[in-house]
Amino acid sequence: MIQHIGRRRAALLVAAAAATGMVVSGCGDSSGDGAGDGDKSVAVSLITKNSTNPFFVTMQQGAKKAAEAEGVKLTVAAGKEDGDEAGQVQAIEDAIARGDAGILITPNGPGVNPAIKKARDAGLYVIALDTPPDPANTVDITFATDNFKAGELIGKWTATQLAGKPATIALLDLFNDKVVSVDYNRDQGFLTGMGIDTADKKKNGDEAKTGSYSGGSYTIACNEPTNGAEDGGRTAMENCLTKNPDINVVYTINEPAAVGAHKALQAAGKTQGVLVVSVDGGCDGVRQVKDGVIGATSQQYPLKMAELGVQAIKKIANDGEKPKVSEGLDFFDTGVTLVSDKAATGVESITSADGAQRCWG
């Protein structure tokens, strides 16, 4: 049963959120009106990396919609920015204190792993969304994009578009001070798609800085962190151009970082002949593809992740079957599609017009 929070407890939660920068909101129906006959009242927490990135805003909206449809009481919390582990730990502690049935989380890093273990030990079912933790069995299951495949798709597209020309590559990653699976999987997937040997697929930046890709020669000009933000993408690109002004390939961890990188290229008068690729496939990102800012992006589906997560925890709380991972993977694959208006031989894709019809999924 749900343990309802008194006024004093609620005030303490608000104070804790303010202290950590965590964002918290509540929604859904605790009366169970949307639940089937005999279903128990179920409370779920969604804890995203932040509440500003459109990807996570969309995920929150999807979870709220699913919670209303399923009669689930949903609490939404977020770190103040990408990498804010302390804010997420506080949100996990609050979910345990409320007696929630489960947690949906996009983990900000390995610093949240002990709190996740504490939640599971307390009987909460924990599902990671978008970002599989390391190790994967830190949570009960992950619903996510195959981030390695997402990177691989844009890598293959890039190699084809270069048509044998030398590639001078900027790698605009998420972090350089912590290891997160979504970061290394996209980066290493991109390089693999380009046909570049990677040393350790769980480590960014240890590949040879020069060599051959599938169509010709390459030089890696830089690995720079962006924190998944537009201003971070701009700063990272500026740093890269300082190191090598001849960059003609820009890999970005997500579309906000891609927009920032494009602005840096514009300011330097360097947009001509530069291929910018990314991952997300959000509605804004698809428009960037249409406008030529981003050459190709791998589209993922956060609405589906959130919806499946809410439904799974409700089902488990009512003694239903637990979800299973996709065959051959250690997570449940929610799908990925390449979006580009420049088709590449041997790489399946959809146009920006088609991508706009399914953005965020």
* Domain-located, residue 17: no
Tally Cβ neighbours within 10 Å of residue 11.
Answer: 11
What is the DSSP code (8-state) at residue 146? -
Model pLDDT, residue 9: 35
On whether both 141 and 222 belong to a single domain, the answer is no
Average pLDDT, stretch 290-306?
Answer: 97
Mean of per-residue pLDDT scores for the chain:
91
pLDDT-wise least confident of 12-21, 213-222, 305-314, 352-361: 12-21
Q: How many domains would you assign to the chain?
A: 2
On whether both 121 and 177 belong to a single domain, the answer is no
Beta strand extents in the chain (DSSP E only):
23-28, 43-48, 73-78, 102-105, 125-129, 141-144, 167-173, 210-212, 217-225, 249-252, 275-280, 296-299, 332-333, 337-339
pLDDT at 12 over 50: no
On whether both 283 and 180 belong to a single domain, the answer is yes
User: Residue with structure tokens 């690995």?
Assistant: 223
On whether both 184 and 209 belong to a single domain, the answer is yes
On whether both 311 and 266 belong to a single domain, the answer is no
On whether both 72 and 135 belong to a single domain, the answer is yes
pLDDT at 222 over 60: yes
* Domain-located, residue 332: no
Residue 86's CATH number: 3.40.50.2300
On whether both 134 and 209 belong to a single domain, the answer is no
On whether both 243 and 317 belong to a single domain, the answer is no
Model pLDDT, residue 14: 38
On whether both 135 and 251 belong to a single domain, the answer is no
On whether both 183 and 283 belong to a single domain, the answer is yes
142-190 tens-digit pLDDT = 999 999 999 999 999 999 999 999 999 999 999 999 899 999 999 999 9
Range of the domain at 346: 147-299+337-357
pLDDT at 267 over 90: yes
pLDDT at 5 over 60: no
How many Å apart are CA 134 and CA 298, to the nearest integer?
A: 23
* Domain-located, residue 344: yes
* Domain-located, residue 16: no
Structure tokens at 47: 């804890």
Residue 129 one-letter amino acid: L
On whether both 254 and 353 belong to a single domain, the answer is yes
Q: Sheet harboring 141-144: ordered strands across?
A: 23-28, 73-78, 43-48, 102-105, 125-129, 141-144, 332-333
Model pLDDT, residue 38: 55
Give burial (CB, 10 Å; 0-12/13-18/19+) of 177: exposed
pLDDT at 104 over 80: yes
On whether both 137 and 154 belong to a single domain, the answer is no
Q: How many CA atoms lie within 13 A of 302 on its CB side?
A: 27
* Domain-located, residue 254: yes
267 Cβ partners below 8 Å, 6+ apart? Answer: none
pLDDT at 264 over 90: yes
* Domain-located, residue 92: yes
